[in-house]
Structure 1
Amino acid sequence: DRYYRLAEQCGRELVKRDFAVITGGGPGIMEAANKGAFEAGGTSVGLNIALPMEQLPNPYQNVEIDYRYFFIRKVGFVKYARGFIIFPGGFGTMDEFFESLTLMQTLKIAPFPVVVVGTDFWSGLLDWLRSCMLDTFQTIGAEDLDLFSVTDDVEEAVTIIHETHTGKRQVAKQLPRFESDAEEEETGEGTRMGIDRRRGGRVRESYDLKEDE
C-alpha cells in the first residue's frame, strides 16, 4: 500500500531529525509509522485503545500505553506532540484532525504544525470546507484554512515539523501568541486555562520571525 510505505518513510525521517514518533498504536498506517521509527532506532510510542472488536497493538513499539477512553487518549496526542502528520484514515483520524484545529482556533493550545498527507484523499474534504463552510455558510474564516498544510511529500511534512520546532518557520501566523508559557496557565492535560477577559487576561499579537530565518 502506497500510504503504508509513505508512513513508514515518515517514521524513519522523523527519527533522523531526533523526534520520537507517537501513533495510535494499532495496525495499518499506525503500524507503518511505528515500524519506520522502531527500525530506525528511535523512540516509537503507541497510544493504544481497548476496543471490543478492532484494534490490537502493533509489534513496533518500545513505549506502549493503553487507554480505555478515546478522549483521554487524544489528550496524550495533544499534550506530548510537537506536531501532527495525518495520513488517510477513518472517523478517528478526522476526530483527531479537527480537534487539533479547534484547540488552536480557540486558543486552548499554542499553534503547532498540522500536516495532512495525500491530496487524493483530502481534496474532497478541503473542497467542502471551502465551498460549504467558508463560502456558503461562513462558519469558518479564510484564515482557519491556514491552520494546516497539505502535501504529498513526506520530506516536506517532516521539514515543516522540524522547522517549526527549531524556530525557522511559524505556523498559524494569524493567531495571537500568549504572553507567557508558565505552567500555571495550563490545565492538567496541557491545554490553556483560557483568557478571562473580565480579569484583564491578555495575549500578544502574532510575532514575526527574524528576517534572516
Structure 2
Amino acid sequence: MINTKRVSAEEQIPTIIAEMQNAAAAFRKIGMGVSVFGSARIARSHPFYALGQDIGRRIAQLGLPVIAGGGPGLMEAANRGAYEAGGRSIGLNIRLPRETRNNPYQTDSLHFEYFNSRKSAFFMHSLAYVVLPGGFGTLDELFEAITLIQTLKQPPAPIIMVGSTFWAGLIDWVRAQVLAHHMIGPFDLDRLTLTDDVEDIVRLIQEAIQIQPGREPALPG
C-alpha cells in the first residue's frame, strides 16, 4: 500500500537521509557502475526492450554493475541483460502509486520512498549514463545529469542518448532555441552523444573507465 498522504519537509528529511546512507553503504561494496534510464511503459515485445537488454548485457561483460530504476519496461530490460549475463544488476526501486511492480532481475535491490535520495544514488555512483527512450522521468534524469556535469557538481562522464529517431527532435529544439538564445554554452551539447550503435556505447563506457580510474562515490557538490 502506497502512502499518498502529504508529508511535511521536516518529516521527510530523516527518511531521505536514511535512504541516502543506505545507498552509500550498499555501493561501498558494489562499486561504481553505469546508470541506464528509460521508460517503464515499454512492452517486452518492443524493439527498445531488446536493445536495452543488449546494452545491459554488454555493460555487465565490461565488469561494471548496471544501475537501473528497478521497475518494468526499459529498466527491466537493462537489469535483465546484466542479470542473465551473470553481472551485477542494481535496482533502485521506488514506491509509486501507479507503478508498483519491481522487476525480478536484480542482484541488489535498494528501496526508496523519495526521488531526491534515489536520484542521488544514481549520480553518486555512475561512471556513465545511458539514456534510452522514455517519458518525463527519463527526461528529468537526463537533464539532471547534464546540469550536474555542466555546473561541475559531478565529474565529466558520457551521457549517451540511445535512439536517434526518438531523440533527434529534442536535440534540434535545444539547438534551435536554448543554444540560439545563448541559454547554454556553445560546447554544452558536446556533452551528449546520440547513437543507435551498441559498439559506440561500449567504447564510450570503456573510455570513461580509463578517464576515471579509482573514482570514489561522492554526493554532487
Q: TM-score, normalised by structure 1?
A: 0.78
Q: In the alignment, does 2:200 pair up with 1:156?
A: yes
2:71 corresponds to which letter in structure 1?
A: G
- Select the structure that is richer in helix: 2
In the alignment, the residues of structure 1 paired with residue 99 and residue 133 of structure 2 have an alpha-carbon distance, to the nearest angstrom, of 18
1:149-196 CA distances to partner (integer Å, 9 max, x unpaired)? 11001221121011221239xxxxxxxxxxxx8x8xx9xx5223xxxx
Higher relative contact order (CA 8 A, sep 6+): 2
What SS class does the counterpart of residue 187 from structure 2 fall into? helix
Q: Provide the C-alpha distance between the structure 2 equivalents of 1:16 and 1:41, rounded to a whole number of angstroms.
A: 9
2:168 equivalent to 1:123: yes
Match of 2:184 in 1: 140
In 1, Cα distance between equivalents of 2:90 and 2:126: 11
Evaluate the alpha carbon distance shift between residue 150 and residue 67 of structure 1 in structure 2; reply closer, same or farther with a 3 A threshold.
same
* Counterpart mapping for 1:46-85 below 5 A: 46-85=91-130
Q: Superposition pairs for residues 1-213 of structure 1, below 5 Å? A: 1-135=46-180, 137-167=181-211, 190-192=219-221
> Percent same amino acid among aligned pairs?
47
Q: Which residue of the partner structure matches residue 197 of structure 1?
A: none
1:94 is displaced (CA, Å) by 0.4
SS at match of 1:83: strand
Query: For residues 57-83 of structure 1, what are the alpha-carbon distances to aligned partners after superposition, in whole Å with 9 as ceiling and x for unaligned?
Result: 101001000101111100000001111
Structure 1: stretches of 5+ with no match in the other structure:
169-180, 193-213
Partners of 1:116 and 1:150 lie apart in 2 by: 5
- State the distance in 1 between where 2:94 and 2:202 align: 26
- Once the two structures are TM-superposed, the CA of residue 49 in structure 1 deviates from its matched residue by 0.6
Quick check: which has more Rg, 1 or 2? 1
1 CA distance for matches of 2:100 and 2:75?
Answer: 11
Superposed CA RMSD: 1.6
Question: Which range moved further: 27-36 or 47-56?
Answer: 47-56
Deviation at 1:55, TM superposition (A): 3.3
Q: CA deviation at 1:5?
A: 0.5
Q: TM-score by structure 2 length?
A: 0.75
Paired residue type of 2:189 = L
Return the alpha-carbon distance in structure 1 between the equivalents of residues 126 and 211 of structure 2.
16
Give a deviation string over 1:129-159, Cα, whole Å, max 9, x none.
Answer: 0001111x22112211011111001221121
